[in-house]
Amino acid sequence: MCTSVNSDASAPLRIVVIGAGNVASHLAPAIESSGVGAVVQVYSRKLQSARELTRKLQNAQAIDSEAAICDDAEVYLVSLVDDAIGPLVSRMPKRGNALWLHTSGSVGMEVLAPMSERYGVFYPLQTFSKGVEVDVSKVPLFIEGCTSGVEEEIRRFATPVFSHIYHADSHTRRMMHISAVFACNFTNYLWTIASELLKKEDLPFEVLHPLLEETLKKAFAVSPEKGQTGPAVRGDLAIVNKHLSVLDGQSKEIYSLLSEAIISHHHSFGK
Amino acid sequence: MCTSVNSDASAPLRIVVIGAGNVASHLAPAIESSGVGAVVQVYSRKLQSARELTRKLQNAQAIDSEAAICDDAEVYLVSLVDDAIGPLVSRMPKRGNALWLHTSGSVGMEVLAPMSERYGVFYPLQTFSKGVEVDVSKVPLFIEGCTSGVEEEIRRFATPVFSHIYHADSHTRRMMHISAVFACNFTNYLWTIASELLKKEDLPFEVLHPLLEETLKKAFAVSPEKGQTGPAVRGDLAIVNKHLSVLDGQSKEIYSLLSEAIISHHHSFGK
Q: What pLDDT, in 10s, does the model give residues B23-57?
A: 999 999 999 999 999 999 999 999 999 999 999 99
pLDDT score, position A129: 81
Report the residue of B133, B188, B257 to disrupt the A interface, i.e. the one with the largest count of A CBs within 10 Å. Answer: B188
Q: Are strands A118-124 and A140-145 parallel, antiparallel or unpaired?
A: antiparallel
Q: Lowest-pLDDT range, A251-260, B164-173, B177-186?
A: B164-173
**pLDDT per position as a tens digit, A151-186:** 999 999 999 999 999 999 989 999 999 999 999 999
Which residues from A are below 8 Å from B88, CB to CB? none
Q: What is the ipTM of this complex?
A: 0.81
**pLDDT per position as a tens digit, A24-65:** 999 999 999 999 999 999 999 999 999 999 999 999 999 999
Distance from CA of A4 to the nearest CA of B (A): 33
Map out the domains of chain A with their CATH numbers. Answer: 13-168 (3.40.50.720), 175-266 (1.10.1040.20)
Which DSSP string do the residues of chain A spell out, in sequence order?
Answer: -PPPTTS-TTSPEEEEEE--SHHHHHHHHHHHHHTSEEEEEEE-SSHHHHHHHHTTSSSPEEE--GGGS-S--SEEEE---HHHHHHHHHHSPP-TT-EEEE--SSS-GGGGTTT-SEEEEEEE-S---TTS---GGGSEEEEEESSHHHHHHHHHHHTTT-SEEEE--HHHHHHHHHHHIIIIIIHHHHHHHHHHHHHHTT--GGGGHHHHHHHHHHHHHH-TTTT--SHHHHT-HHHHHHHHHH--HHHHHHHHHHHHHHHHHHS-TT-
Q: Lowest-pLDDT range, A59-73, B24-38, B118-132?
A: B118-132
CB contact under 8 A, B227 and A127: yes
Strands ordered across the beta sheet of A140-145: A61-63, A37-43, A13-18, A75-78, A99-102, A118-124, A140-145, A164-167
Nearest to A219 among B134, B175, B188 (CB): B188
Q: Quick check: B92 and B111 in contact, CB under 8 A?
A: no
* Statement: residue B219 has pLDDT above 70: yes
Distance from CA of A127 to the nearest CA of B (A): 6
Nearest to A201 among B172, B187, B242 (CB): B172
Which residue of chain A has the CA closest to B213?
Answer: A216
Q: Are strands A37-43 and B99-102 parallel, antiparallel or unpaired?
A: unpaired
Report the residue of A85, A205, A239, A271 to disrupt the B interface, i.e. the one with the largest count of B CBs within 10 Å. Answer: A239
Nearest to A82 among B129, B200, B239 (CB): B239
Q: B35: phi > 0 → left, psi -120 to 50 → alpha, else beta; which?
A: left
Distance from CA of A258 to the nearest CA of B (A): 7
Report the residue of A102, A144, A172, A181 to disrupt the B interface, i.e. the one with the largest count of B CBs within 10 Å. Answer: A181
